[in-house]
Amino acid sequence: MVDRAAPLNVADIGCGTGASTILLARLLNARITAVDFLQDFLDVLEERARSIGVADRVSTLACSMDNLPFADEELDIIWSEGAIYNIGFQKGVADWRRYLKAGGLLVASEITWTTDSRPPELQNHWDNEYPEIDVASAKIRVLEKHGYSPVGYFVLPEHCWLDQYYRPMQARFEDFLKRNDNSEEAHAIVDAEQREIDLYETYKAHISYGVYIARKLG
């Protein structure tokens, strides 16, 4: 769906240290604006882009995703992995639309129920953490209601949660606690993360990240 040779204008919103930005810069002939509100993450991203040789195609922007400086219809692609929840899926989908050219693509991942009903323990946890959590059909409906035509949806596999996310996080718990003098607050953070991991491992048939791809209608 994307012309890899075209000089596309892409924004990676909530880019973190640039896992997706770097991949996109390698795959596309695009100018990519990597947006995050934490300058420390953008510094890491810039260093990675330099060392991989794509710095000429990547620029960083320290900015909140609810106050973006893009012009109307400036972007060919908006990419946002694991980040739109910070302002809510519906708000992000609605607010960011105007930055896309007609026919431009939105690619956003969002936590998603993968079954129609869930054990109450899991449901209650996520209703508290992120009340917008829903099934894929509801997320796709949000896209349709806000002037997009859905073109694809897939679910991130289990290894993304365990090998790429939870296991590396767990490996850092001890160091995190040490750096924070074993404070009560630090323990509370670790305990909350461990509880989420336990819930995931018990109920992983019911929950994942969905990746939603949609085209802006003209």
Ligand X SMILES: C[S@@+](CC[C@H](N)C(=O)[O-])C[C@H]1O[C@@H](n2cnc3c(N)ncnc32)[C@H](O)[C@@H]1O
Rule CB under 6 A: choose which of 19, 44, 135, 140 binds ligand X: 19
Binding segment for ligand X (CB under 6 A), chosen from 78-86, 93-101, 129-137, 156-164, is 78-86
Binds ligand X (CB under 6 A): choice among 76, 81, 110, 134: 81
Q: Does 208 bind ligand X (CB under 6 A)?
A: no
104 belongs to the binding site for ligand X (CB under 6 A): no
Q: Is 64 in the site for ligand X (CB under 6 A)?
A: yes
31, 10 Cβ separation under 8 angstroms? yes
> Whats the size of the chain, residue-wise?
218
Q: In this structure, what token pair is assigned to residue 218?
A: 């003209």
When CB distances to ligand X are compared, the closest residue is: 16
> Measured from the CB atom, is 159 or 178 closer to ligand X?
159
Is residue 86 involved in binding ligand X (CB under 6 A)? yes
- Between 79 and 148, CB nearer to ligand X: 79
**Residue from 28, 58, 65, 106 that binds ligand X (CB under 6 A)?**
65
Minimum distance between the CB of residue 22 and ligand X, rounded to whole angstroms?
10
Where in 139-158 is the site for ligand X (CB under 6 A)? none
- Half-sphere exposure in the Cβ direction for 9 (13 Å, CA): 11
How far is it, in rounded angstroms, from Cα 137 to Cα 115? 11
Q: Does 75 bind ligand X (CB under 6 A)?
A: no
Residue with smaller CB distance to ligand X, 163 or 181: 163
Task: Tell me which residues touch ligand X (CB under 6 A).
Answer: 14-16, 19-20, 36-38, 41, 64-66, 81-83, 86
